[in-house]
Chains A and B, each alone.
Chain A
């Protein structure tokens, strides 16, 4: 015990004394999404030289601070400045070039013309109103439309972190090695580029990226059933089918935790699925497993039969993904209908 305490104290003093370790911090906070070498995953790649050579350190630091609201990338608002800058230094070292330095001077152009150009040249990847491509990050194991999904530009986090000069550079040179091609390849003039930058900048203050957490949404949807547990289970089976979902199996809650036959029989779980819906949701957020399998619980306690499900809208609030929110709203409707149908 004394040994453990000694080790612990040494570790405390080491951590307290040392400057923050960028590699360690990246591994702890970023690697799950961006890859341990920055090659992307749930998040976009960060190690590509064409990306790093187009963004300054301030862009990186502010992206870490503000995140990308509604686009999965969290805001790391609790990290110290020293920790953020250690991460930036660590990321920066993936490129051999020094960091570019951009001024704050706004680019002037015609946002109305920019909007037209955006619709014809950019919207296919970045979304109609700059809300970003469907899904995020890199295609590895599940279907995506592009090898790298285009980030949201109509996004308060992006707009705060990016300067006009950085956006202009990105349009001029593109990001070779990614689907983002240069203005030259797109056949756009210097003036077109300026018009596009001013259109992207015009999103400022209009970004519709976050739904503030809705306090009215509770963690579970539930209703008391006027039927017996057995009848309620049968009703739910029918309701699942009528909602175009497939019943996968019926189990006790304690299944697998205790010897068969010793489970509490008054806690029944019905698992169901709609594979098409699931497949689409997975493309939008690979973390969707946390909503699976779809299930309805039927429990009986003190003679009262209750039907309950998670509220997908509640759970979705934890994922910082507006696209996922839409799927969860739909799923919430399905759960509500099943509960209503079964307890009517």
Chain B
């Protein structure tokens, strides 16, 4: 990361910390990039944050294959193996929510990303996992979304 990028990111983190008093259940962002470019930035940022993309589900391909019209719509699954093992062990009620996913879809010339705030998984885990874990996960996700949002 170059210095100006770092400064930008830190300023953004501060903004986020000072402004998000209210927990959002759904985290969304928009990229001015077209779908293929936004997808590339997303996958690179996921990897740069130490997560593995385990699968990309091509919802649009399934739909168009059945004769329905739709623009690009994919679901990106990403996780860290040790974290998945820890979560399924301690909070089995989270199993059907794992691995966590990000929806990414084209909206005209731009791209929209949606995910569930990991804080919600903390609520579902109901104390079985340290809440700090979900906070860190949330901040990683926000940082990934920031990368996609600010990429030009």
Contact = CB atoms under 8 A, between A and B. Distances in A.
Contacts of B22: 76-78
A28 B54 CA distance: 29
- Of listed A27, A219, A273, residue having the most chain B CB within 10 A: A219
Given A256-B55, A289-B105, A318 B93 contact: no
Contact of A141 (B19, B70, B124): B70
Nearest to A278: B63
Given A15-B15, A278-B63, A279-B68, A8 B10 contact: yes
Interface residues of B, number: 64
B125 to A, nearest CB: 9
Given A7-B7, A32-B112, A290-B114, A15 B18 contact: yes
B129 interface: no
B108 A141 contact: yes
Interface residues on A, range: 35 or more
A244 to B, nearest CB: 14
**Majority secondary structure, B binding face:** mixed
B92 A301 contact: yes
Given A35-B110, A141-B72, 5 more contacts: A78-B21, A220-B93, A220-B96, A254-B81, A308-B95
Interface in B105-124: 105-108, 110, 112-116, 120, 124
B141 to A, nearest CB: 13
13 contacts: A4-B6, A8-B14, A16-B18, A24-B15, A41-B107, A220-B124, A255-B54, A257-B52, A257-B54, A282-B73, A289-B101, A290-B101, A292-B75
Contact of B62 (A32, A219, A273): A273
Interface in B22-66: 22, 24-26, 28-30, 32, 52-55, 57, 59, 62-63, 66
Nearest to A141: B71
Contacts of A255: 54-55
B134 interface: no
A96 interface: no
A258 interface: yes
A216 interface: no
